Every structure is written in structure tokens, then in C-alpha cells.
Amino acid sequence: MKKIQLIAAALLVSGAAFAQTTPNAKPAAQGRSASVRALPGNSQIGATSRGSVLVDNDSYLQQVGTGNYGSVSQVGTDHSADMYQIGNGNDAYQTQRGVSPINGGNVAFSSQYGTRNYVDQDQDGYRQEAIVEQGAAGANVTENYAVQEQDGDFNYGFIDQDSDRNFAHQKQSNTAFSGAGNFADTRQGNGTAGSGNADHQWSQVVQTGNGNAAIVRQDHD
């Protein structure tokens, strides 16, 4: 079973759309936004692919094992945060905030390999990227949970979850300006469309503002 919610502010007329039960219940999400750009290719996006000259502060965290907790918080412009966790039941939290609504350029990248892992990315600013990769093609790593929230203009959110019984939540909003040009991209599963090799996915996308784009692919190959 696959569940998709795509919600635009202008179409939100009732709370009934949220009546679905959510797997892997986790704390409520924060808030974020995304920017329109060319879709990535089939190859997964790499971590913070910017020249070091453009990065003000760079954070790298790697954890191997079970039940780990990682948290990174950055304030300012042109920061990067990379987090890698290998194992089951790990939690990752990344928060990046510009010093004003027109500051940003931050990149958050989180990669988890295992079962029942949780990622929460929160960005506030302009032209930021939030990237989550969970699982691996053909691997029996399931029930992962990813939350992205972005507040600002021209932000980009990307979630790639391989295998089945995953949950993805993306929220893009803007309170200071128009909330324009955000882009949310979710990919779940890793089998031929309709094959049932990667089933029971749950995806929710919420966007407010103008000129936004959202794409959800389930059982992507």
C-alpha cells in the first residue's frame, strides 16, 4: 500500500486529509522550504558538492552501531553539515538557520543505512538544500522515517528511501516573503514500478506560497 499527500495552501480546505495513520510514529516535524531546479539523475546525490572556498563552516559526523543520536546546529550562511549513521534505531537531527530571511546557502546531508532510523532536518533561510538518503538498493533495511522542514525561498528538499515501509514528510513554507520557487522531491522503494518489491510507503508533502513544485516517486527504479 502506498499513501501520498500533496497539499498546497490554496487547496487546504479541511483537516480530513490528515486522518491517515502514520507508521513509525515520531515527534512532530519542524518547518522548511525548497527551490526549483533540474531533477537529479538516477544516481544518488553526493554529500555537499561545493568547493571548500564557498563553505564557511563544515560539520562532519559519523556513527556506527545501534541506538546512536547525532545533532548538529548551525547559524549563519554557506554552512554544510554531513551526517552518516550505519546501524539500526539511530536518530539524526540537523538544524541550519540564516541570520536573516535572505541569508542561507546552507546544505544539510544525512545518510543512514539500517532499519528504523530517523532523520529530522530543519532549515530557515534562502537557497538551501536538505538531502536524506536511507537504506540501499536491494537491501533488507526497512521502516525508516525522514522529516524535512524548510522556511524560506528557493529551497530544495530531497528524500531517497530504498526498500519498504518507509515514511517521508516534507514541509516547505515562508512567512517573510512569497514562499516562491521551492522544490520537494521524494523517492521511495527501489523496484520496478508496480512490482511490489518495495511496498507500504507513506509520503506527505505540504507547500505554501507560489511557484512551488513537488514530485513523489514510489517504487522508483
Q: What is the pLDDT of residue 61?
A: 93
Low-confidence ranges of the chain (pLDDT < 70): 1-56, 100-102, 175-180, 191-198, 220-221
Q: What is the pLDDT of residue 156?
A: 93
Distance between CA 100 and CA 119 in Å, rounded?
25
Residue by residue, DSSP assigns 183-217 as: EEEEEE--SSTTSSSS--EEEEEEE-SSS-EEEEE
C-alpha cell at 71: 545533532
Distance between CA 29 and CA 34 in Å, rounded?
16
Q: What is the pLDDT of residue 127?
A: 86
C-alpha cell at 2: 502506498
In eight-state DSSP terms, residue 47 is: S
C-alpha cell at 19: 486522518
**Of 80, 115, 76, nearest in space to 94 by CA:** 80
**Of 107, 149, 152, 100, nearest in space to 126 by CA:** 152
* DSSP helix/strand/coil, 57: strand
Q: What is the pLDDT of residue 19?
A: 31
**Of 171, 205, 168, nearest in space to 188 by CA:** 168
- Give the side-chain half-sphere CA count within 13 A for 197: 14
Domain ranges of the chain: 72-196
Burial classification of residue 16, based on how many CB atoms lie within 10 Å of its CB (0-12 exposed, 13-18 middle, 19 or more buried): exposed
Structural Rg of the chain based on CA atoms = 16
Contacts 24+ apart (CB under 8 A), 94-97: 94/119, 94/120, 94/121, 94/122, 94/130, 95/30, 95/71, 95/121, 95/122, 95/123, 96/122, 96/123, 96/124, 96/125, 96/128, 97/123, 97/124, 97/125
C-alpha cell at 79: 554552512
